[in-house]
Structure 1
Amino acid sequence: IGYLVRRLDENTGPSNFLRYAFHLKPGSANWVMLRQKFIESFELMEHLPDSSRRTQNRTTEAFQSTLDNWRWDQLVNEPDTDFSLPDNARWAQEIIASGLQAEPRVVTPIIAGEEDTQATHLFNSTDPSQPNQYVGTWTAAEESAIDVALKCAADDETSWRKTTAKERSAILHDVANEIRRSRRDLIEIALAEGGKIIPEADAEVSEAVDFVEFYRKSVVHIEEMQDLSARPRGMALVISPWNFPIAIPCGGVAAALAAGNTVILKPSSETVLTARRLCECFWEAGVPKKVLQFVPCRGAAGGVQLTASDKVDSIIFTGSTAAARLIQQQTPRACLLAETGGKNTTIVTTMSDREQAVKHVLHSAFGHSGQKCSATSLLILEKGVYQDEAFLELLRDAASSLTVGSAWRLETRIGPLINPPSGDLHKAIVNLESDESWLLEPRIDKNNRCLVSPGIKMGVTANSFTHQTEFFGPVLGVMLAESLEHAVTLANETGYGLTAGIETLDDREQEYWKANIFAGNLYVNRPTTGAIVLRQPFGGFGASSIGAGIKAGGPNYVTQLMKFRTSLIDVAADLKNMHNQELAEFGTTLLEARRSDIKATAKQIIIQALTSYDEYAYREYNRVHDHFHLIGQDNIRRYLPVEDLVIRVTQQDEAYEIVLRMAAAHAVGARVMLSHATAVHEELLQVLIGFTQHWKKPATQIVETDGELLERVARGEVSRVRYARPSAVKDGTRTALEAHNVVVMDAPVLVNGRIELLWNVREQSVSDDYHRYGNLGKRATEIRVEPL
């Protein structure tokens, strides 16, 4: 019906005959206009092209160095393969044929620039589609080799950290082209070792290219800022998962290298061969093997040796929340950037297009057999939909029709699990709780236990095992909600906050949901998986993130892998011309107070900082961004102020450091809560708080010990604590804060607002398919860009 309505709408447009047919008279103005259009169109027939506009051909494409004079916000995403084209379809068949005949690969660690031929612990990589079939062997780095790798990365013998951002960018541009050239090989290995069907692996290669191209440009942009001096943190450890064996390790490695760090890649033991092939793309393009080392490990010991080393400055981890918390306990000093799990929801209201909802939910829940951290795991149906037997039958029938099988078969839509079901996933497959029933019962293939058909559970209740547990497999729980408000409450009760989707055609419901759902990536009337670099920067809230939570594939990600200093610049700054008048009056009042604890140099710092904060709040943080303006789809990148932020004031803090942290929080709309022990800067704080009484949200203070602060943390009243320096955080306090997943922000307070304001916000991505089967409605006249 939707398609027919669209065709009717098009054919009744101003330039089409049907619009005039019922009242058309020979000789009238409309008659003359239509007659002329017919003649013109007839004359143009000779020039009408008869070849396809789609010219992509993976068998013949060449990758030349292209113009490199674009900015990070002008990124053009790498197109996925169009398998509807005959040449590309044959290319896919060739991948299958080649992979089935391929000789097993042999992979060894690369330690300090050399093959580690001394490693003796040999492991097999198996094919999940054919569990008895080995696709290769690999050796694990031993304890002594890991020590050598750590020393090599720390010493930086090649002086990678001293290279400029532009020098590194040029090398990474070549890396991106090498990945483009290696698309076929990477797909074949990911299929064989990771069980990824070709379209899933193909999209990963595109994402990997995007990561490399985008991060190199992001760092160049940062290093061009006048008042900012950037340097790499030092050595980065990238710990990558098996479910995205190409894109995720590539993203971590590319970001760390672009920022100037030396890197050790420790891949998942399930997909070592794929990670090694990815590293070869970096090495062949010019990244030294001493700069990017490949250190596969088996078992906990090797991983702990890496994460517990005091030589590691940053850890980029993607995996389970439990594993991330364990790493956080092990690492003594490294900055942990962890993208973790999710119990993701899609809400379907009575105002939805129900056929479209089924299509999107199945894609979100069962793509890659549900082995995505972004996969929909809970389907929350408003009562009218939950009781709609036709909807449930459509959902059941569509899910049961998905082809489950070997990744080597092109018709397969649900490939194998990486391993046979175990733990929580096995429990979810074989057990029902008291109120649950199967709408569609999953089946484990007797000949290959990695093959599991989709399962859909009805009757999931609040706080049940299915409601609260991440399964990481093809099991979808269905919950009943009395209203949209109830549905949002159920969705927010999981403790996670990675992705969330809603299916509704009601703008009011969409706005309510966007304002109240707790998740980092929001999707309206579209699937919840498949985030694209810069288009939908990726990362979550709550238990779905450990660390600052800055989004991968966004313009801020590389900042976590750098250290910054700001300097005073000889530029006249005027508080009178600021956009935020409350902030301007705060600064003016403070500077006119002539306090002895605000020194002349500090006054200059405050003036430059407040003007910088105000400018970046206006240009970046207090507005929404859509860098693509695609036809039919909004992709909004926005910032949310952190309302439960605490500014912890200690005796060693300078007066200007207190002022700047207050100003940064206020500039982005965050609540200013000052926390300090008795007799710590009490007089100054009273004065500063007095200067904020004209704000809509005046600053407040709490006099409390570290222990009392931790009690508030335990009650869930605090999510971030901003200190002025690392030494201000006692070891025991830091450990206790991190145990409650509170973000400890202790980087030096910066004058530059582009970096300093980051600590006071959460990033959120909102992707909204606003078209209806191609019909753009009232937005048809907008100037938009066609997607690739």
Structure 2
Amino acid sequence: MAERSEALERWRQRLREAANAPERDADMLALSEELALWLFEASVREATPQEKARGARLAAMVDDRQSRAFTFEVTDQAFRSSDADRVADQVRALIGRHGVPGSLGSAERLMLHAFEHASGVTPGLSTALFRRYLRRETAEVVAPAEEPALTERLRALSDAGVQVNLNRLGESVLGRRHARERFDLYRKDLERPDVHCVSIKLSALDPHLDVLALDRSVEALSALLRPLFVTARAHPFVAPDGRSTPKRVYFDMESYDDLALVVGALQATLSDATLRDCHAGIALQAYLPESFALQRELTQWSAARVAEGAAPLRIRIVKGANLAMERVLAARSGHAQPTYRTKAAVDASFLRMVRFATEPPHAAAVHVGVATHNVFDVAYAAVLRAARGAEHAVGFEMLYGMNESLARAVQRLTGDLLIYLPVVSTRELDAAIAYLVRRFDENTGEQHYLRRSFAMVPDDAAWTQERERFAQSVALSERTDDLPPTFRTQDRRALPPPRSPAAAFANEPDTDWTVARHRAWIGEALARWHDLAPARVPVVVAGEAIERSEAGERPGVDPSRPGFDSYRTVLADWAHIDRALDVATQGRRAWEARGVEARAEVLSKVAQGLRERRADLIGCMVRDGARVVREADAEVSEAIDFAEYYPRSFAAMLDALAGGPGEGLVPRARGVVAVLPPWNFPLAIPAGGTLAALMAGNAVVLKPAPETTWVAWELAKVLWDAGVPPEALSFVPCAEEPTGARLLRDERLDAVVLTGASTTARWLRALRPELPVFAETGGKNAMIVTAMADRDLAIDAVMRSAFSHAGQKCSAASQLVCEAEVYDDRGFMDRLRDAAASLPTGSAWDLSTRVPPLIRPPDGPLERALTSLETGERWLLEPRRDADNPCLVTPAIRADVAPGSASHRVELFGPVLSVLRARDLDDALRIANGTDYGLTAGLCSLDLREHARFEEAMEAGNLYINRSTVGAIVRRQPFGGRKASSFGPGAKAGGPNYVAQLVRWSEGETAAGGAKHAEPGRVQPLGALAASVRTSLNALLGWLGDLDARSSLSKSAASYAWWWERYFMREHDPSMVLGERNVFRYRPREVVHAWAGVDSAALDIARVIIAAKTCRVRLELAHAPRAPLRFPALASVESVSAGELHVALAERRVKTLLVLGRETPALRAEAASGGVWYDATPPHPDGRVELLRYLREQSVCAELHRYGHLPDTAAEPPEGL
């Protein structure tokens, strides 16, 4: 002991001597390396047996992938459910998946083996013991919030001579009531005499902070923070000997997006002269290049305050704790990763900030806490502060429970150590997972110092490498002249160069609102559009703007400003429609003749035009459609994506046909297509439908939604300016009756692209049965929450899904189906209600609004849903109507909703959420599937088995797991539904087949825009066909008498098999977004119906049979009495009579009807009345085209990460710092 004390005193003396020696970089480096070695040896020598055992476990775990996965998942999942049976089942499943970790000690391994066998018999006892074990393990890094345990822990730390920074963990703050509770906790913590400082998370004070509304957010935060500083000043820390010191309020840094908010709130609050003597701190993350500039700015600001008598600011210099999450967020948004890319750059940034802080003029203005567990960093800071006489201004900070023996050594050497102490109540332990995830990544990150320190010894390879890294970082830290100010360089005022049509597709990033110039940019646009004089929207035919019409005009309104006459729309009369159809009929041929590449170039120019006019398009959507800025901005990005993606996806389809049996297939435009978009996505949806039709070579008659005609007009102008011929695009706002109906009945119209209500789609089909209608219709979408959900994440996902755009998205989740345990969880329901009640509701012009006005005052089913309850229901949250704006309604939540009720079945299109109780996941799936719709559905659960069950059983076109059901992105999550949510062949918008459905495939050598390719064919050897297909093929070859027909069938069968096995039966994720699984897949239809008439070609019949067999689809083949269908060898083909087909049509059991041979008008009309897709095109020889008729598209989007942490099966752990 005496020898250790002597060594400690020698080092103190050497540090004192450094203050009198010339500051030479080489000497400082050498001294730092010596001190690092002493600190490391001291920490190893003084580690307790328990600390050594924990270090050994971690050392074993870092190289054991299965152990890492099990440890993380069991910690994340074991506290989710209160049901012992459910928890026991989950832990057993994790043991079965990963095995018992070999990195655990023998006692822990024995415990897990015992749990695996005993928990099925005694789940209550087994689960209680297992949870107690996990609590004991987590207590090593997270302290209990209960008394007297917390007071005892604080006293122990004080007795050890360290100061404490108290950090409250807990459930995510999603509502204002919960925020008030957290505020009260912070205030009580500041009143404690045994706490030196308290860390504040600003998101816990206000759950709706938004950098886009920076000024308002900062103002709101300052009002909340002032009383906390007053409390801190009134209650100083009191040491056991009676001495008191001022208490500090520390501002924690969260995500990069909050950087400006945190700094702004700090400066705004402390600018109050009455708080001049208050002590504040802020964390700055060295992995952000902005942090060094902010350190300099804050130092200058603090120096001015100190000169006026204020207390110095304290900056906590950390390397950064959210790297993994920042990587995921950047990948999802398409924005540049905000952090330095290499560990060397981060380490250099950290040391650069320490060097700056220790310079005497800076140390007088700002005190710093050097927050690190890296002995080299600690040593360097200790040497610097001694050499520069800055001991009073430079302290050290460490995390509770992390490398405690090093913390003791640092405390003895420097006498200045602040411990960051996270605390959480036992009932909220699952809410500490985010913190534990960051600590887990720090301990196991590939390049993290802590990971290597567990097994490191002086002068071994690991030590040598760490020493060399340190020397490199010191050298790099001296460079300050060429540092990047930021990696976020997006600039909306400077247009990016056009993207070459030959370049690979990449999604257009939304605007990065963390960039200050963008907030100014959008502010200017909003001011301009808010004050713009009322406009006049004309009819446009053949490039001529028509401003007078016998049909009159229609007023356009701004839903945020009742009574304001926003614009007037000229309504097309029949003469205008008649001319538009004539012009389109004549002009479409020239447009199609331009060819695929030329049309693609025009669409590329459309994309560039949308980029140029982004600000004005956003302003127009705010005014015309009450879209909040963030969502309007995302619509512009989506429209750009359509313009860039559709040419590429169509070209890929043509390339796919090269060299195979479908090489002779060429796409021919359908002709004149009417595009009928909705008002809820006033830009993106009309852009998608119009651009797809144009890319296919069609002429378009755009009939905009009456509520948002102005936005559609702005879109049309972009298209014309980009080079879309006036003859290929007419703009015809008109009344539904009689003009609109007459347009749709006109035989010059060849197809309709509709996004709207299912009733509208059925009306269109009945209006003109032979007219192809490609319709995306509504949804009654469900979010399912099971007992294994992260319930905070679930509430956040529900808020986004149910109430964004006031619930007026067809993808919105209007029903919440909770497993019984969740439904009966009063805390969950209280937080759900609080979150919804706290959503900022107001004008779309207000940047802080989350729930904007409805497009029109509620009426019909929506008004009833907002004003009355069905039998047995109750209001969990009753809505309020704004007294001044009839369009403005706050969110509503109906509880105790019964399956089968109107609340469960009827689409409402408003801010109404119905909550239903389910026994278990299977019951929840039954309830969610119990509507006519099948558009989107969500699941919140951490159980991978429940994910698989949901993906298999949920009848919806877009499935989402552990995220919201809204916000589909082109290619990443192609969008479209099934059942009553889709009419037509079912190709998804933004998917690989959407343009292809808007052409007719015909056989021929070439066509306009299509050239014959000469690549190897894509066929499967006949001997490799599935047994059932091979049996049917052999029988059909015997049935076909014509040799050419037999040869053609063989080639088709080979092509069908190739495409099935190489493409259709596989899952596709072309986007490969970090942290997400975005799967696009094809699912066999339950049954396909076909009709064979007396003139049906035998080859066509045979192709349909083989295609259905290939796709594992049941085929019901109906036939006329004299149709040529005598093939007894094909007993597996279900042959039905014409009468049976009529019954199936009447009962609406038919979804797709393939008609072989001459069309039957009566049959077509019958199919149209039931919303059936009636397809009379001959079977295609190529599987890439033909098999689409037997399959349904589905998108599955699942979050793979947990707070940025990726499962080891998905990717390597993120690089540590």
What TM-score results when the alignment is normalised by the length of structure 1?
Answer: 0.93
Change (3 A) 1:678 1:123: closer
Change (3 A) 1:453 1:160: same
Change (3 A) 1:642 1:578: farther
The Cα offsets for residues 22-79 of structure 1, whole Å up to 9 and x where unpaired, read as: 66544454433332332233333345844211111212x2242333323xxx420010
The answer to whether the 8 A contact 1:598-1:656 is kept is no
Superposition map of 1:189-588 within 5 A: 189-224=620-655, 225=657, 226-566=663-1003, 576=1021, 579-582=1024-1027, 585-586=1030-1031
The 3-state SS of whatever aligns with 1:658 is helix
CA distance in 1, matches of 2:608, 2:1017: 44
The answer to whether the 8 A contact 2:1019-2:1058 is kept is no
Cα deviation for residue 546 of structure 1 reads 1.2
Change (3 A) 1:299 1:655: closer
CA distance in 1, matches of 2:1143, 2:1213: 53
CA distance in 2, matches of 1:573, 1:134: 60
Question: Does 2:531 match 1:101?
Answer: yes
Change (3 A) 1:18 1:780: farther
Moved more, 113-122 or 253-262: 113-122
CA distance in 1, matches of 2:1017, 2:463: 67
The answer to whether the 8 A contact 1:575-1:588 is kept is no
- Hey, which bits of structure 1, 4+ residues long, moved more than 6 A? 568-575
- Which of 470, 486, 498 lines up with 1:65 in the alignment? 498
The answer to whether the 8 A contact 1:573-1:608 is kept is no
CA distance in 1, matches of 2:898, 2:442: 48
The 3-state SS of whatever aligns with 2:896 is strand
Aligned equivalent of 1:17: 449
CA distance in 2, matches of 1:584, 1:481: 42
Give the partner amino acid of 1:719: K
Question: Does 2:490 match 1:56?
Answer: yes
Aligned equivalent of 2:1047: 604
Moved more, 310-319 or 106-115: 106-115
The 3-state SS of whatever aligns with 1:338 is strand
Give the partner amino acid of 1:654: A
Aligned equivalent of 2:259: none
Superposition map of 1:607-618 within 5 A: 607-618=1050-1061
Cα deviation for residue 620 of structure 1 reads 2.0
The 3-state SS of whatever aligns with 1:130 is coil
Change (3 A) 1:617 1:47: farther
Change (3 A) 1:365 1:229: same
The 3-state SS of whatever aligns with 1:296 is coil
The 3-state SS of whatever aligns with 2:747 is coil
Number of positions where the alignment pairs a residue of Structure 1 with one of Structure 2:
765
The answer to whether the 8 A contact 1:370-1:475 is kept is yes
Aligned equivalent of 1:633: 1076
Aligned equivalent of 1:653: 1096
Superposition map of 1:704-783 within 5 A: 704-705=1137-1138, 707-725=1139-1157, 727-728=1158-1159, 730-779=1160-1209, 781=1211
Cα deviation for residue 627 of structure 1 reads 0.2
The answer to whether the 8 A contact 1:241-1:319 is kept is yes
Cα deviation for residue 407 of structure 1 reads 0.7
Change (3 A) 1:257 1:655: same
Aligned equivalent of 2:44: none
CA distance in 1, matches of 2:677, 2:559: 19
The Cα offsets for residues 320-351 of structure 1, whole Å up to 9 and x where unpaired, read as: 11111111111253210011110000000000
CA distance in 2, matches of 1:374, 1:145: 35
Aligned equivalent of 1:183: 614
Give the partner amino acid of 2:982: S
The Cα offsets for residues 728-751 of structure 1, whole Å up to 9 and x where unpaired, read as: 3x2222222232232222112111
The answer to whether the 8 A contact 1:256-1:262 is kept is yes
What TM-score results when the alignment is normalised by the length of structure 2?
Answer: 0.61
CA distance in 1, matches of 2:969, 2:443: 36
Cα deviation for residue 158 of structure 1 reads 6.8
The answer to whether the 8 A contact 1:459-1:479 is kept is yes
CA distance in 1, matches of 2:589, 2:624: 33
Aligned equivalent of 1:695: none
Aligned equivalent of 2:52: none
CA distance in 1, matches of 2:1033, 2:1156: 23
- Which of 1023, 1031, 1034 lines up with 1:589 in the alignment? 1034
Cα deviation for residue 243 of structure 1 reads 0.6
CA distance in 2, matches of 1:364, 1:403: 15
CA distance in 2, matches of 1:429, 1:459: 16
The 3-state SS of whatever aligns with 1:312 is coil
The answer to whether the 8 A contact 1:503-1:526 is kept is yes
Change (3 A) 1:682 1:19: closer
Larger radius of gyration: 2
Give the partner amino acid of 2:1154: R
The 3-state SS of whatever aligns with 1:777 is coil
Indicate the structure with greater helix content: 2
Cα deviation for residue 150 of structure 1 reads 1.3
Moved more, 434-443 or 380-389: 434-443
The answer to whether the 8 A contact 1:227-1:752 is kept is no
- Which of 595, 605, 608 lines up with 1:174 in the alignment? 605
Cα deviation for residue 583 of structure 1 reads 6.5
Question: Does 2:1118 match 1:675?
Answer: yes
CA distance in 1, matches of 2:633, 2:622: 10
Q: CA RMSD in A?
A: 2.1
Question: Does 2:130 match 1:130?
Answer: no
Change (3 A) 1:620 1:227: farther
Cα deviation for residue 577 of structure 1 reads 5.1
Change (3 A) 1:158 1:22: closer
The 3-state SS of whatever aligns with 1:741 is coil
Change (3 A) 1:202 1:592: closer
Cα deviation for residue 653 of structure 1 reads 1.0
Cα deviation for residue 286 of structure 1 reads 0.7
CA distance in 2, matches of 1:368, 1:250: 19
Question: Does 2:473 match 1:31?
Answer: no
The answer to whether the 8 A contact 1:211-1:254 is kept is yes
CA distance in 2, matches of 1:157, 1:464: 48
CA distance in 1, matches of 2:584, 2:484: 57
Moved more, 295-304 or 76-85: 295-304
Question: Does 2:545 match 1:115?
Answer: yes
CA distance in 2, matches of 1:499, 1:316: 20
Give the partner amino acid of 1:436: E
Cα deviation for residue 590 of structure 1 reads 4.3
Aligned equivalent of 1:693: none
Give the partner amino acid of 1:242: W
Cα deviation for residue 227 of structure 1 reads 2.8
The answer to whether the 8 A contact 1:578-1:584 is kept is no
CA distance in 2, matches of 1:434, 1:507: 37
Cα deviation for residue 20 of structure 1 reads 4.9
CA distance in 2, matches of 1:114, 1:502: 50
